[in-house]
Structures are given as C-alpha cells and as structure tokens.
Amino acid sequence: MKQGPHSLALVLIARDEARCIARCLESVKPHVDRMLVLDTGSTDATPALARAAGADVHYGTWNDDFSAARNHALALADADWNLVLDADEWLISGGADIAALRWMAPTYAGRIRVDSEYDSDAELSVAPSWLTRVVPRGARYTGRIHEQVDAAWPRRRIAVRIGHDGYHRARQTGKRGRNDRLLRMALDESPADAYLHYQLGKNLELATAWDAAAPHYETAYASGHPDDSWRHDLVLRLVYTLKKTCAFERAVLIADAEMARWTHSPDYYFTLADLLLDWATSEPERAKELLPMIEASWQQCLVLGDNPDLEGAVHGRGSFLAARNLAAFHESLGHAEQAARYARLEAELRQRRTAGRDTKEQPR
C-alpha cells in the first residue's frame, strides 16, 4: 500500500535463487510499498518462495542482457522509486532512509553501500562498494552485463547498507562462466570500453587466472579516467595481479604513479606492502632495501584506519589485518617483543570490529 506521495518498490530479477530470495525480500518488505520479482527461468522453488514472502512474481525470457531484464522489471514495478537488488543481497541497515524516499521527488539516482563477502583467503573478508541501486521512474539501464543506470541522472549517496554473499567461491562456479561469456560478447560490441575490461579482469581474477586478468586491467588503467568511481579498486587489483604474475617492477611503477592520489587509502598501503614483501621474498638481495618500506606501509594502514567509502576497500586493512601482518612480519625477523605487541593489537582491533568502534590505533 502506498504510504506517501511517491510509490516505492523493491525490484529484483532472479533465476534459481531459492537459497536466498526469501532473506532478501523479508529484509526489505517493511520499508517498501510492493516487491516485484521478474523470474527469468528458474527450475527451483524461487517463484513460490518469492510469492510466499509477499512479492508479485512475473516471468520473462532471458536473452543474455541484464539491462533488458532490469528495464522490463522496472516497467512492471511501475513505481516512482525503485530499490534494485539481487536475490543474494539483503538489507543490513538504512530501512528508514529507504522508506523516506516516499516523500522525496524522484529526480536523482541513489548510491548505496553494498558489502560483498569474499572467502578466497584464509578468512572471510568484506569489501564495500557504492553502487547506484535506487532508481527513479524513467531511468533505464544500459549494458549487457554489469549494467549501469543512465549517466544523465545525478547521483546522491543514501545511508543504506546492503549485504552480499554471491562472491563466495561455492556460488561463483556457474556464474563465472556466464559472466565471462557475456563480458566477451559486450567487448566484441564495445572493444574500447575501459569498464568492461575492468570487469572482465575481475572475473578472471576471481578464477585465479592472473596472466589473463592482467592485460584487461592494464587496458582499463590506460584507457579509463582517473576520476572513474572504480579507479581505486582497479589500481589495487592491477598491482595485486601484476604481483601474482611476478611482474614486480611494473607493479611498483603503477604503485609509485598512484601514491599521491591514494594517501588516504589504507588499502593502497596494504597492497603496496604485500607487493614489496613478495618482491623481497622472490629477490632476497632486495630485502635490506624493501623491509623498512614494508613495515612502514603496514604501519601507515594503522594510522589511517579503515576507509569504507573507498571503492574496493576491504574491512580490516586499516586495522586488524595490518596488525596481523605486522605481527607475522616481526615474528619472521625474530623480533619477539614487537610481534607480541602487534598480535595483542590485532586481537583488540578484532574485538573493536565486533563492537563497531573506531580502529585508528598504534600498538601499546
């Protein structure tokens, strides 16, 4: 039921999402007027679960084009404001800000924070991104995959936080092949598109295909704009991927060229320290020169603290992950007292993470 001057809908496209669609719908249901699910060919219980959660379910044919499906769903929703989510996402906080859209004129597109979980390392990590997911009536998506809302609409950040677990390795197996195919189709149509090269690089990186990912990141870096919203994440991924291919000198050149731009980024210094450590390990004759820079980079992470406003930031790189690495660093050098200090700091920062407190700290 409409509760303000402007209607508000949750809009999803889904296929075989029985694992998670109810979680998504139930998390948003109290804050919107209606929920619209466009099913593009499920063979599981997705449609039934969506109806049971209170959604209006419609059916559409999948034609290898996410924008076409999104635009179809928006047309069916017929709302002034649309919160566009995927089934493997859920609302963490900001429901009141979503509900308040009913009293806001739909003259802009809203960017919200999406916290994506990754389990590719020894522990679960969370990387926030600010994505355009609040879509006004009349806006349309473009792009076969990793679709974007029309650039003509001004953007405004909204204090909404979404969780996303679709990047867990167990859930990427089928999607990765589909995404690779669609990205290559899109690049055949727009071979100079820097954003598509960036996204294909990410897809290949998730598959640990470092040698294949690096050229796409290089193309995106060379042809993209320094002010692109995804530039920070691209720089981190390019440096990381070059490191994985042992192209240390090229990675250092990129890191050096970008340093002045990212002095506020703990993720930059964390990635730099990892790069220099691997270089020192690969070429021990450089260790004397590199070890002080490695330590200083991880220490700078702690000075800066976590910065979730940066695209591609990983929670902990400005706090407990940096402390963990400094503890291991000093332990490997036989510095028992310093290793113990950083280990204590890591434990304290992990506790603060749970409590949601500030993490800018130095070891005591």
Place of tokens 């700091």: 345
Would 331 be classed as within a structural domain? yes
Would 31 be classed as within a structural domain? yes
Same domain, 160 and 18: yes
Residue 70 has pLDDT above 60, yes or no: yes
Would 90 be classed as within a structural domain? yes
Same domain, 144 and 24: yes
Cβ neighbors of 333 (< 8 A, separation 6 or more) are: 291
252: its two tokens: 């250092």
Percent of the chain scored above 70 by pLDDT?
Answer: 95
Same domain, 39 and 147: yes
Would 323 be classed as within a structural domain? yes
Place of tokens 């204590």: 344
The domain boundary, picked from 109, 144, 164, lies at 164
Range(s) of the domain holding residue 26:
8-164
pLDDT value at residue 118: 85
Percent of the chain scored above 90 by pLDDT?
Answer: 88
Report the predicted TM-score, pTM, of the whole model to 2 decimal places.
Answer: 0.89
292, burial (CB in 10 Å: exposed 0-12, middle 13-18, buried 19+): exposed
Q: Pairing mode, if any, of strands 8-14 and 56-59?
A: unpaired
Same domain, 12 and 160: yes
In the chain, how many domains are there? 2
pLDDT value at residue 362: 46
Same domain, 160 and 281: no
pLDDT in tens, 126-140: 999 999 999 999 999
The domain boundary, picked from 164, 179, 212, lies at 164
pLDDT value at residue 360: 47
The domain boundary, picked from 164, 187, 211, lies at 164
For the chain, give the secondary structure using H, E and C: CCCCCCCEEEEEEECCCCCCHHHHHHHHHHHCCEEEEEECCCCCCHHHHHHHCCCEEEECCCCCCHHHHHHHHHHHHCCCEEEECCCCEEEEECHHHHHHHHHCCCCCEEEEEEEEEECCCCCCEEEEEEEEEEEECCCCEECCCCCEECCCCCEEEEEEEEEECCCCHHHHHHHHHHHHHHHHHHHHHCCCCHHHHHHHHHHHHHCCCHHHHHHHHHHHHHHCCCCCCCHHHHHHHHHHHHHHCCCHHHHHHHHHHHHHHHCCCHHHHHHHHHHHHHHHHHCHHHHHHHHHHHHHHHHHHHHHCCCCCCCCCCCCCCCHHHHHHHHHHHHHCCCHHHHHHHHHHHHHHHHHHHHCCCCCCCCC
pLDDT in tens, 14-67: 999 999 999 999 999 999 999 999 999 999 999 999 999 999 999 999 999 999
CATH number of the domain where residue 32 is located = 3.90.550.10
Q: Pairing mode, if any, of strands 141-142 and 148-149?
A: antiparallel
pLDDT value at residue 123: 75
Q: How far is CA 57 from the centre of its chain?
A: 28
Return d(Cα 339, Cα 351) in angstroms, integer.
19
Would 352 be classed as within a structural domain? yes
pLDDT value at residue 276: 99
Same domain, 25 and 158: yes
pLDDT in tens, 274-292: 999 999 999 999 999 999 9
Same domain, 148 and 17: yes
Among candidate residues 147, 85, 76, the one with its CA nearest the CA of residue 114: 85
Return d(Cα 31, Cα 326) in angstroms, integer.
44
Would 209 be classed as within a structural domain? no
